[in-house]
Amino acid sequence: MLTNIIKDLNAISDKEKAKNYSRFFKTGKGEYGEGDMFLGIKVPEQRKIAQKYKNLNLKDIQSLLDSKIHEHRLTAIFILTAQFKKNQEEIFNLYLKNTRNINNWDLVDSSAHYIIGEYLKDKDKSILYELAKSKNLWKRRIAIISTLCFIRNNHFEDTFKISEILLNDKHDLIHKAVGWMLREAGNKNIEAEEEFLKKHYQKMPRTMLRYAIEKFPEEKRKFYMK
């Protein structure tokens, strides 16, 4: 089955799109996606293939996750997410073992809250705080994006605590992720978000703050951006 899924992905590859994706996902030397390789396949097409092979065994999923090709890893992520409800603990553990392979923002953003967040929503969440303090960019992003699951269930405490850990992060992709999660929390409870912002907005990176207040009325946005 692994051979078939690779064959299906190769059949819809597009060299021009692959070049564009390589630029978009910053694969140049010293960039966050350095060395990543692309086939040039749109996400909806990958989702269709993931659906076709949704019963792929974990050994073959691991082979896809180990691939240097981005679409192999993302399709594996889609399959894991589809299988998660039936096999939660094993997939949670497999995901954590593969953080080295979940190494771009789209891989994280399409999975962390569905797998890590969902598994931890009624459990001890200390692993998220370990990830948030990691030197690895993608582990830190997994930590904050995972809390989207909690936000959707009206629990904001971990989002705010992890955001505090990441306030001084140097990477733009963390600024955007934290700002996004703060905005999502505000969509559920604006008072809770503003309580956080009033404590921290003066020292937050500007990108983080802009993302967090994006849906505020103009006057309020001006107040926070002063």
Looking at the chain, the domain(s) classified CATH 1.25.10.90 span 1-104, 111-226
Q: What is the pLDDT of residues 191-218, one digit of tens each?
A: 999 999 999 999 999 999 999 999 999 9
Cα 108 to Cα 102: distance, rounded to the nearest angstrom: 6
pLDDT at residue 226 greater than cutoff 90: no
66: its two tokens: 């180990």
Q: How confident is the model at residue 1 (pLDDT cuts 50, 70, 90)?
A: confident
pLDDT at residue 123 greater than cutoff 90: yes
At residue 17, φ and ψ (nearest 5 deg) are -60, -40
What average pLDDT does the chain have?
97
CATH 1.10.1060.10 is right for the domain spanning 1-104: no
Q: What is the dihedral of CA 37, 40, 42, 47, to 10 degrees?
A: -60
Q: What is the pTM of this model?
A: 0.95
29 close to 62: Cβ distance less than 8 angstroms: no
pLDDT at residue 112 greater than cutoff 90: yes
Q: How confident is the model at residue 77 (pLDDT cuts 50, 70, 90)?
A: very high
Q: Where are the alpha helices (DSSP H) in the chain?
A: 2-11, 15-24, 43-52, 58-65, 70-83, 88-97, 105-109, 112, 118-120, 126-132, 137-146, 148-152, 157-165, 172-188, 190-200, 206-212, 218-225
Q: What is the pLDDT of residues 126-163, one digit of tens each?
A: 999 999 999 999 999 999 999 999 999 999 999 999 99
Query: Treating both helix axes as pointing N-terminal to C-terminal, what angle do 2-11 and 70-83 enclose, rounded to 10 degrees?
Result: 120
Q: What is the pLDDT of residues 140-150, one digit of tens each?
A: 999 999 999 99
CATH architecture entry for 111-226 = Alpha Horseshoe (1.25)
Residue type, 104: N
